[in-house]
Amino acid sequence: MNLADINVMTKILSDNGFSFKKSLGQNFLTDKTVCPRMAESCLDENTGVIEIGPGAGILTRELCKTAKRVVAIELDERLKPVLNTTVGEFDNIKIIFGDAMKLDLKQLIAENFNDCARVCVCANLPYYITSPIIMGLLRSRLPIDTITVMVQKEAADRLCDKVGGKKAGAITVAVNYYCVATKLFDVPKTSFYPSPKVDSSVIELKISKNPPVSVKSEENFFKLTKALFAQRRKTLLNTVSNTLAIPKDTVKSALFELGLSENIRGEVLNMEQIAALSDLLFK
Ligand code: SAM
C-alpha cells in the first residue's frame, strides 16, 4: 500500500467518509522518502516507539516495519476505520484513541515497552500543540532516548538554535536543559495534503543524562527563563524586576556579581549565565 500516492490516500479517506479538520492540525504526509528517513534515524528492531497523531498511518506503517513495538495515540476517532485499513496488517501496533496531552505516558511506557531495549517518540506533530507536547515530554522525564518530530520550520529553527542565538526563545533554553536538539532535514509544504502555509523540518531531541548546568532550583531557573524572554526589547533589569517582582537593586547587584552590564537584554544570556543569575536572584 503506497500512502504517499495521493490518489491511494484520498481514496481510503473518502471510502471511510473522512474529511480533514484544520483545528486538529490534519495535514497528512504524501512523500515517500520522509517517513523511512524519520523511522531509520531513530529506530531499530529492539526499539519501542510512541507516535503522536498517526493520521492516515503513513509514518505508522514505517514505524511498524522498523520498530519492535508501536503505540500510536490519535485524538480523532473518525480515523479508526482508516487506520484499520492502513495498519491492520501489523501485529506490533496498539492504537490508543485519546488526547496525547492528557495520557499518562509513564504508565503507557511501563505497560507496553517492558521488553524493548529503548523507547523513543517519533511523530509528525499537530502544529497547534508542538510546544506543549515537546515540553510535556521533556518535563515529565520519561524513560525515552530520543524525540524525532516534524515541526514547523520556524519552530525547528527556534528549538535548534543555541541559547543566546537570534532565533532562540524560552523554549530553546528549556530544550537545551533537557536534551541536545539537531535539525535533521527540511520538508517542503508541498509534501503534505492538504498543503499547509509553511514548510516543515524534522528535528531530533536527544535526551541528556544530566542537564548542562546545575541549578539550586529548576522551578526558579524556568521562572527566570520565561521572564528573560517576556519583553524582548526591554533590558533584563526592567523585565526581570517587573515580571518577577524582584527589587531593581537586587537585580543590579546580581548582574554586577556576574560581570554583566545593567543594559543587557535577557535573550542574549547563555545557559551558564541564566543558571548563575537564577541562583543569585532567588537565594
Ligand atoms: N502522522 C500523520 C502524517 O504524518 O501524515 C498525521 C500527522 S497530522 C500533522 C497530526 C495528527 O495528530 C492528526 O491525525 C490529528 O488528528 C492528530 N492529533 C491532533 N491533536 C492531537 C492530540 N491532542 N493527541 C493525539 N493526536 C492528535
pLDDT in tens, 14-46: 999 999 999 999 999 999 999 999 999 888 899
Residue 220 falls in which region: left (phi positive, over 0), alpha (psi -120 to 50) or beta: alpha
* Nearest ligand 1 atom to alpha carbon 101: 23
Please work out, in degrees rounded to the nearest 5, the angle formed at the alpha carbon of residue 228 by the alpha carbons of 226 and 230: 65
Residue type, 215: V
155-175 residue pLDDT tens: 999 999 999 999 999 999 999
Q: Which helix (H) or strand (E) holds 122?
A: strand 118-124
Establish whether residue 28 lines the binding site of ligand 1, counting it when its CB lies within 6 angstroms of any ligand atom: yes
Pocket test for ligand 1, best of 9, 60, 64, 74 (most atoms within 8 A of CB): 74
Strand partners, 183: 203
Angle CA(24)–CA(29)–CA(32) in degrees, nearest 5?
165
Q: Whose CA is nearest to atom 14 of ligand 1?
A: 55
Does a cis peptide bond (omega within 30 degrees of 0) precede residue 143? no
The CA distance from 114 to 139, in Å, is 22
**pLDDT in the model for residue 44:** 87
Q: What per-residue confidence (pLDDT) applies to 232?
A: 81
CB atoms within 10 A of CB 180: 14
Residue 133 Cα: closest atom of ligand 1: 23
Residue 97: phi, psi to the nearest 5?
-90, 110
B/e letters for 198-216, b = 16+ CB within 10 Å, e = fewer, are ebbbbbbbebeeeeebebe
Cell of 117: 531495549
Q: Is 126 in the pocket of ligand 1 (CB under 6 A)?
A: yes
**Could you tell me where the DSSP H helices lie in 196-270?**
218-228, 236-244, 248-257
How much is the pLDDT for 261?
96
Relative to beta strand 200-207, strand 146-152 is antiparallel
Share the mean pLDDT of the chain: 95
- pLDDT of res. 233: 82
pLDDT digits 0-9 by tens, 198-253: 999 999 999 999 999 999 999 999 999 999 998 888 999 999 999 999 999 999 99
Q: Whose CA is nearest to atom 19 of ligand 1?
A: 24
Residue in the block written with cell 513495538: 69
